Chain A
Amino acid sequence: MSQLPKPDTEGLRAKYPDVFARPASARLAMPAMIVAAFAIFVFGLVDLDFSPSKLLSGLSQLGWITMLMLPPNPGSSFPLYMQALGETLSIALLGTTLAALLALPVSLLAARNIIPSNLIRFPVRRFLDSIRGVDTLIWALVWINVVGLGPFAGVLAIMVSDFGAFGKLFSEAIEAADRKEVEGIRASGGNALHEIRFGLLPQVLPVIAGQVLYFIESNTRSATIIGIVGAGGIGLQLAEQIRVLEWQKVSFLILMILIAVAAIDFISTKLRFAIIGQRAVV
């Protein structure tokens, strides 16, 4: 039986000092980070008024509320809720479509391969970033001041906040497009508009359609909540029923939202695959 040669520990140690004796700073980095993260966590608990007694009484309250939620029961308001749900879906569809229509021309301005000049691209990008930095709910509050309470304010809020997101996503899709097809159009004598129409759009449109569908899906969720500040849809009913402590209706409304979101998910996934074929999603 052959025996393995004894490893030359001393030689290895001399060759790779870092492996055998890591410097203290490298060894301490991980524990130090964990301790720091935990310290901030504890500070946060103290600063945010966490106390075990509050937590316990809250949990028992929550238990009561959950008991009161069962079984979900809409009472006599089922038609009203269905209408509110329809309103929510309308808000999501309309807001997303308008945002996409508005964002398409602006995204051309923010794409590097269309506008090589930093002078225009940079301000356009920062502008889109600022719009995205403001939450949909805040936009809803602003639009309520402008067009009054109701679902229309919700449509406009979703339109504006998605405009920021779409502008960025579309411009990234345009930047990822293949140069060769555009060059081909130019070589055959097309002008700048032809390049965009026949060289870029056929590549970019399927990607954009996929993203728009995905946003309609995620906006169904956003549209359920903008009602909380008064911008229409099922969120308005939900916030009202929570305020008057009608827990059976609350659970019914939450159930409706879950089912609606699942249905939209299912449909848009099917559509997305139909549009973009076997390509990777988004």
Chain B
Amino acid sequence: MATAVSILPAQQLAALNETYRKAVARKRLKATLATAVFCAALVIAALGAEVNLKTFFTYFGNFISYFDRILTLDSGARVWTDPVEWFWGLKKWLRLLGETILISYVGTLVGAVLAFALNFFAAQNTSPGPWLRFIVRRLLEFARTVPGIVFALIFVIAFGLGPMAGVLAIAIHSTGALGKLFAEIVENADMKPVEGIRSTGASWLSCMRFAVLPQVSAGYASYALLRFEINVREASVMGFVGAGGIGQELVVAIRKFYYSDVSAILVTIILTVFIIDISTGWLRGRLFGKETRR
């Protein structure tokens, strides 16, 4: 079937073209202005951050040669030619990695329990009073915004060096992060069961227990597992400030230029993170099906 393409008379076409051009020109002007503002911000930022391209290009070779060096053993051979020599400290590192995972496990669990205790007060639909809600929200925000490692720095002074400071730092940070997510789940929960239970004369506590909890517990567990994954990464650097785990060993290796140790520890950390990611992903899939992952 042939269709004739109708072409408007020149006069009409010119008017349309004119309007189109104007509209496009305005859009372009806006985009150019936005780009200019952004570039100006970048230049100011570059001055502020003491970016020095000369240093960068002079030393960029160092970056590549750094990787070359951490992949070379003391004997001059490549690390993968002699895995036994490369991973000479494997036993110690595995113990420290175990400690790292335990730190994040205990920290996540404590954080999840605290978040669980607080989130019903923070959610709009279940909070007993607006004032309480405001206070709990600000508290969670504080715990979430202050980075975990800053808490660790302070806790190391209060509780002494060691994994305990790391656990508490991770617990507090997780409370803030999970409390917000948990409260969001509760806000999305169906309120009809709550009305049903309240109509029988039940207390606030029973309403939460029998109407809200059954709807939200799967989401809670899913988010807690995700948080555990994130916390393993976080726990791997807690040792930088003396709060336990593999980080201590890594920072010593980097600062003292034990090159092949750096690569060996990095490889073990990356592998551990992979394994944890994959196994929690599998667990989440098994427990809650695919759709809970948001």
Residues of A that sit less than 8 Å from B by CB: 37, 40-41, 43-45, 47-50, 54-55, 58-59, 61-62, 65, 86-87, 89-91, 93-94, 97, 129-130, 133-135, 137-138, 141-143, 145-148, 150-152, 154-156, 221-222, 224-225, 228-229, 232, 235, 238-239, 242, 245, 250, 254, 257-258, 261-262
B162, A49: Cβ atoms closer than 8 Å? yes
A152, B244: Cβ atoms closer than 8 Å? no
**Can you list 13 pairs linking A and B with CB atoms under 8 Å apart?**
A40-B102, A41-B105, A44-B103, A48-B103, A48-B167, A58-B155, A130-B270, A134-B269, A141-B251, A143-B63, A238-B153, A242-B154, A257-B145
A47, B254: Cβ atoms closer than 8 Å? no
**CB contacts between A and B, total, < 8 Å:** 164
B49, A154: Cβ atoms closer than 8 Å? yes
Give Cα A41 to B145, complex, Å: 26
Rounded to whole Å, the gap between the CB of B235 and the closest CB of chain A is 10
Asked, given contacts A48-B103, A228-B240, A254-B146, whether A242 binds B153 with beta carbons under 8 Å apart, the answer is: yes
B158, A137: Cβ atoms closer than 8 Å? no
Chain A's closest residue to B162 (CB) is A49
Assess whether B41 is interfacial by the CB under 8 Å rule. yes
B142, A258: Cβ atoms closer than 8 Å? yes
A90, B49: Cβ atoms closer than 8 Å? yes
DSSP class of B's interface residues: helix, strand, loop or mixed?
Answer: helix
- In the complex, which range does the number of interface residues on chain B fall in? 35 or more
Contact bitstring B231-272, A, C-beta under 8 A = 1, else 0: 001101100110010000011001100000000001001100
Asked, given contacts A134-B269, A134-B270, whether A90 binds B48 with beta carbons under 8 Å apart, the answer is: yes
Give Cα A61 to B251, complex, Å: 28
Asked, given contacts A61-B159, A258-B145, whether A45 binds B106 with beta carbons under 8 Å apart, the answer is: yes
Rounded to whole Å, the gap between the CB of A265 and the closest CB of chain B is 9
